[in-house]
């Protein structure tokens, strides 16, 4: 098959297949039938991504003219990262779409949902396969637009179950409750804050390097040309876009309030698109920058140190916040933030460790994607079944909803890093990476990783326990139906078994297996197992309830987003309005410049008497001044 047709089908099939339902938004009959066409469009993307994976040669670049005069073309790269990530993105989106056929049935605006859901998928695929930074940025902006449409999908704010936080609960002047319309606005505004400097960085790369293709840019030469300050500024501008998109500290609040959207959106957003996009682009850039070969480039190491510790601190912050959460999806959102932080940290460690660290980050992304998508889909089913967004459900409830119970058990055990399940082998590689950093950065990175891993295991066990074993009896139970929902998360979690097979089979991941037998990795894995079992038995500790509330309030970080920053912004705007605008108005419109021109005008009118003798005197006076100045100049020479 012609590669151009393959890429067209891959990227356009989801969007084109969702246009009919978007156009038929007024017809209830058609909007109930056409979602199957939208799902089929995503299935076409799955087939094309698999075709690329198995047929296209690795590290092959495909270029199609767009704006060749400016070096902007459709450039797709089928390298190791894109081949795997393309399949991951398409398959996860398809499983979630199948689930969504049940979950979104009867929704009040399906046309809006399916169009933006498919746009979300296509945009991420464009980010994954793009080698040209400008083309990648087009997909990047598509993710932002789709996220706004999906997070704020239930814009009416008429159902408390779609909110995040506790209604009418206040801490100081701030009410800790957020509706869907606010969640969508916050997501797009936070992301836009990072997108602007990222776009400027891409423009700077085009000017300085004369090339926007990631795999072709001479990164070492570029950094050497712009010097230390230029390297730091350029990379930090790019990282602003990546950190905001991936909800790293201090830009994490939008991810928590994004849980106001449909659970299908949360599942896709947290696993294979949006949040994963920032980490994936950093992994992709690092793959081609190869910082382990550029130790002589000044300014590169400080940037990678920043990414390392932002990632590790975000990981710990997310895990600690999740330990106090009682809302199903917000708990999972906190754990996603934690996992994404570890991906950033592992990829950043490549500066000192080498190529292996990038592989660790990428494979952890793959394992996390399927496990977390499974948990979100289960969470959506539980919300439907109990009509509650809070953790609830005892052992009797768990027995009556066995598929969800089993999937949650598999997803959590395979994700936390306990031996011998899937994530253990990848996390063992991560332990080895942080252990290598002891020589360069001390024990702090390894300590932060271990602490995060232990707390993370606890919150995953808490999610399992309070939903299926030791939770309160739900006030409402509706267990009928949901066949496609069960099918969706069952297919999703089954891929974790495929991933462990690939880890043991692939040459690139052989070192993961070797690291899994190292004493340090086994000790950490065993500690994670203990933390998981303890939290399963004791998911809540009443003596620590105040600390739990503090963590549930996300250590009051919402104050920075919802109170301090808005107050500061309004204060600055008030100063600008009252003094800046008045000063500008006074300078140009009412006082300074008008007064200056008025004075000049009066002076000119004063000499316009109409008498010839007056004009002769003025001219003679000017001549005398000129002669005096000329004489002074001559003496000086």
pLDDT in tens, 57-85: 999 999 998 887 777 789 999 999 999 99
Asked if 313 contacts 333 with a C-beta cutoff of 8 angstroms, the reply is no
Condensed to tens digits (0 to 9), the pLDDT of residues 510-569 reads: 999 999 999 999 999 999 999 999 999 999 887 678 888 888 888 888 877 777 777 776
Sorted by sequence, the CB contacts under 8 Å of residue 496 that are 6+ apart come out as 367, 370, 371, 374, 410, 411, 414, 421, 422
Return the axis-axis angle of helices 300-324 and 545-552, rounded to nearest 10°: 130
| Dihedral (Cα; 559, 372, 164, 321), 10-degree rounding | -40
Would you give the distance in Å from CA 298 to the centre of its chain? 28
As a whole number of angstroms, the distance between CA 411 and CA 474 comes to 23
- Token code pair at residue 634: 């001559």
130 - beta bridge partners? 76
CB contact at 8 A, 259 and 188: no
Residues whose CB is less than 8 angstroms from the CB of residue 576 and which lie 6 or more positions away in sequence, other chains included:
none
* Residue among 305, 316, 239, 234 nearest 278 (CA): 239
Phi/psi for 179 (5° steps) reads -85, 170
Rounded distance between C-alpha atoms, residue 628 and residue 633, angstroms: 9
Tell me the longest C-alpha to C-alpha distance in the chain: 114
Alpha helices for 421-516 (secondary structure H): 422-436, 438-441, 444-468, 483-505, 510-516
- Here the tokens at position 322 are 């999740």
Q: How far apart are CA 410 and CA 375, in angstroms?
A: 10
Bridge partners for 170 per DSSP: 175
Gap between the Cα atoms of 157 and 162, Å rounded: 7
Cα distances (angstroms) measured from residue 312 to each of 43, 127, 453: 36, 25, 11
**pLDDT, tens only, 381-428:** 999 999 999 999 889 999 999 999 999 999 999 999 999 999 999 999
Q: Which of 405, 103, 132 is nearest to 266 (CA)?
A: 103
Q: Are 585 and 360 in contact (CB under 8 A)?
A: no
How far is Cα 303 from Cα 132, in angstroms, rounded to an integer? 23
State the virtual CA torsion across 158, 164, 165, 168 in degrees, nearest 10: -20
Domain locations in the chain?
3-552, 553-590, 601-637
pTM of whole model > 0.85? yes
CA end-to-end span of the chain? 84
Per-residue pLDDT, 1: 67
Closest listed residue to residue 318, CA positions, set 551, 563, 565: 551
Please give the pLDDT value at position 39.
97
Kindly give, in sequence order, each residue whose CB lies less than 8 Å from that of residue 594, ignoring residues fewer than 6 positions away.
none
Beta bridge partners of 60: 78
On the CB side of 98, CA atoms within 13 Å amount to 18
DSSP 8-state code for residue 390: B
Report the percent of the chain where pLDDT is more than 70: 97
Contact 292, 352 (CB under 8 A): yes
C-alpha to C-alpha distance for 566 and 563, rounded to whole angstroms? 5
* Candidate from 91-105, 131-145, 260-274, 577-591 with smallest mean pLDDT: 577-591
Q: Which burial class, exposed, middle or buried, applies to 242 when counting CB atoms under 10 A from its CB (0-12, 13-18, 19+)?
A: buried
User: Which percentage of the chain shows pLDDT scores above 90?
Assistant: 71
Query: Would you say how long the chain is, in residues?
Result: 637
**∠ CA(553), CA(158), CA(24), 5° rounding?**
120
Decide: 327 and 259 in contact? Cβ < 8 Å.
Answer: yes
Mean pLDDT confidence for 181-203 = 91
Q: What is the mean pLDDT of residues 361-369?
A: 97
According to the model, what pLDDT value does residue 82 have?
96
User: CA 395 → CA 399, 401, 469, distances in Å?
Assistant: 6, 10, 4
Contact (Cβ atoms closer than 8 angstroms) between residue 522 and residue 444: no
Encode pLDDT of 149-159 as tens digits. Answer: 999 999 888 88
Is 104 in contact with 35 (CB distance < 8 Å)?
yes
Find the mean pLDDT for residues 247-257.
Answer: 91
Residue 189: asked if its preceding bond is cis (omega within 30°), the reply is no
Handedness of CA 625, 626, 631, 636 (dihedral sign): positive
- Across the range 629-634, mean pLDDT stands at 76
Provide CB contacts within 8 A for 598, sequence distance 6+. none
**What are the residues whose beta carbons fall under 8 Å from the beta carbon of 98, sequence distance 6 or more?**
39, 484, 487, 488, 491
Provide φ and ψ at 420, rounded to 5°.
Answer: -110, 30
Place of tokens 């994976």: 53
pLDDT range class, residue 169, cuts 50, 70, 90: confident
* The predicted structure's pLDDT at residue 118: 96
Handedness of CA 383, 343, 320, 318 (dihedral sign): negative
> What's phi and psi for 48, nearest 5 deg?
-70, -40
Q: Are 444 and 360 in contact (CB under 8 A)?
A: no
Q: Does the pLDDT value for residue 137 go beyond 50?
A: yes
Q: Quote the pLDDT of residue 449.
A: 96
What is the pLDDT averaged over residues 369-392?
Answer: 95
Identify the residue whose tokens are 């156009």.
23
- What is the average pLDDT across 218-229? 94
Tell me the C-alpha distance between 424 and 233, whole Å.
37
Q: Mean pLDDT, to the nearest integer, of 107-116?
A: 94
Residue linked to tokens 């006030």? 475
Answer whether 279's CB lies under 8 Å from 311's CB. Answer: no
Q: Is the pLDDT of residue 131 over 70?
A: yes
User: What pLDDT does residue 637 have?
Assistant: 45
Which segment of 80-89, 170-179, 413-422, 610-619 scores lowest on mean pLDDT?
Answer: 610-619
The 10s digit of each residue's pLDDT in 595-604 is 887 788 777 7
Distance separating alpha carbons of residues 174 and 425, to the nearest angstrom: 43
Residue with tokens 């230390």: 228
- Mean pLDDT over the full length of the chain: 91
CB 59 within 8 A of CB 448: no
Dump the DSSP string for 131-200: -BHHHHHHHHHHHHHHHHHHHTSSTT---GGG-EEEEEEEETTEEEEE-HHHHHHHHHHHHHHHHHHHHH
> Residue 585 above 80 pLDDT?
no
C-beta neighbour count of 79 within 10 angstroms: 19
pLDDT at 72 (0 to 100): 77
Residue 624 has pLDDT above 90, yes or no: no
Query: Given pLDDT bands bounded at 50, 70 and 90, which one contains residue 611?
Result: low
* Look-up of token digits 């390392």: 308
Classify residue 157 by its DSSP letter: -
Question: Which has more confidence, 447 or 476?
Answer: 447
């Amino acid at each position: 098959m012609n590669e151009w047709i393959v890429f067209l089908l891959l990227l356009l099939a989801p969007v084109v297949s969702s246009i009919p339902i978007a156009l038929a938004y007024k017809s209830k009959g058609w909007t109930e039938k056409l979602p199957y066409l939208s799902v089929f469009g995503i299935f076409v993307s799955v087939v094309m991504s698999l075709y690329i994976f198995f047929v296209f040669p690795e590290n092959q670049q495909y270029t199609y003219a767009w704006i060749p005069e400016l070096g902007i073309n459709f450039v797709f790269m089928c390298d190791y990262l894109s081949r795997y990530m393309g399949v991951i993105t398409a398959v996860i989106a398809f499983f979630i779409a199948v689930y969504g056929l049940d979950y979104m049935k009867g929704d009040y605006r399906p046309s809006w949902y399916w169009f933006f859901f498919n746009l979300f998928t296509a945009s991420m695929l464009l980010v994954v396969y793009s080698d040209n930074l400008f083309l990648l940025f087009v997909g990047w902006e598509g993710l932002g637009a789709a996220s706004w449409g999906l997070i704020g999908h239930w814009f009416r704010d008429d159902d408390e179950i779609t909110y995040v936080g506790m209604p009418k609960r206040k801490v100081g002047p701030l009410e800790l409750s957020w509706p869907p319309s606010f969640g969508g606005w916050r997501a797009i505004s936070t992301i836009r804050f990072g997108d602007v400097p990222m776009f400027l960085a891409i423009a700077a790369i085009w000017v300085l390097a004369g090339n926007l293709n990631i795999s072709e840019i001479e990164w070492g030469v570029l950094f050497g040309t712009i010097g230390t300050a230029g390297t730091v500024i350029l990379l930090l501008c790019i990282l602003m876009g990546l950190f905001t998109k991936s909800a790293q500290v201090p830009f994490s609040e939008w991810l928590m309030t994004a849980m106001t959207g449909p659970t299908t959106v949360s599942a896709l957003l947290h696993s294979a698109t949006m949040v994963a996009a920032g980490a994936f682009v950093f992994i992709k850039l690092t793959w081609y920058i190869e910082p382990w070969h550029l130790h002589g480039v000044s300014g590169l190491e400080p940037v990678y140190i920043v990414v390392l510790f932002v990632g590790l601190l975000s990981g710990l912050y997310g895990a600690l916040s999740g330990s106090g959460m009682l809302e199903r999806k917000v708990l999972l959102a906190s754990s996603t933030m934690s996992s994404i932080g570890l991906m950033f940290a592992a990829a950043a460690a490549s500066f000192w460790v080498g190529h292996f660290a990038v592989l660790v980050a990428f494979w952890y992304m793959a394992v996390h994607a399927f496990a977390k998508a499974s948990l979100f889909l289960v969470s959506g089913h539980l919300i439907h079944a109990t009509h509650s967004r809070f953790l609830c459900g005892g052992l009797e409830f768990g027995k009556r909803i066995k598929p969800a119970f089993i999937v949650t058990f598999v997803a959590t055990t395979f994700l936390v890093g306990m031996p011998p399940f899937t994530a253990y082998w990848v996390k063992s590689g991560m332990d080895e990476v942080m252990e290598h950093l002891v020589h360069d950065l001390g024990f702090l990175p390894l300590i932060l990783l271990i602490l995060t891993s232990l707390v993370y295991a606890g919150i995953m066990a808490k999610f399992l326990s309070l939903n299926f074993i030791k939770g309160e009896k739900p006030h409402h139970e509706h267990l009928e139906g949901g066949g496609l929902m069960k099918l969706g998360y069952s297919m999703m979690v089954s891929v974790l078994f495929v991933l462990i097979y690939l880890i043991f089979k692939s040459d690139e991941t052989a070192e993961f297996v070797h690291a899994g037998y190292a004493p340090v990795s086994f000790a950490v894995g065993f500690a994670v197992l203990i933390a998981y079992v303890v939290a399963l038995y004791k998911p809540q500790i009443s003596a620590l309830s105040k600390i739990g509330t503090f963590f549930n309030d996300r250590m009051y970080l919402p104050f920075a987003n919802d109170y301090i920053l808005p107050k500061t912004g309004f204060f600055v705007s008030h100063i600008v309005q009252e003094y800046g605008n008045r000063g500008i108005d006074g300078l140009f419109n009412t006082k300074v410049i008008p007064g200056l021109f008025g004075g000049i005008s009066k002076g000119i009118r004063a000499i316009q008497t109409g008498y010839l003798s007056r004009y002769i005197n003025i001219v003679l006076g000017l001549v005398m001044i000129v002669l005096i100045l000329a004489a002074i100049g001559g003496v000086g020479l």
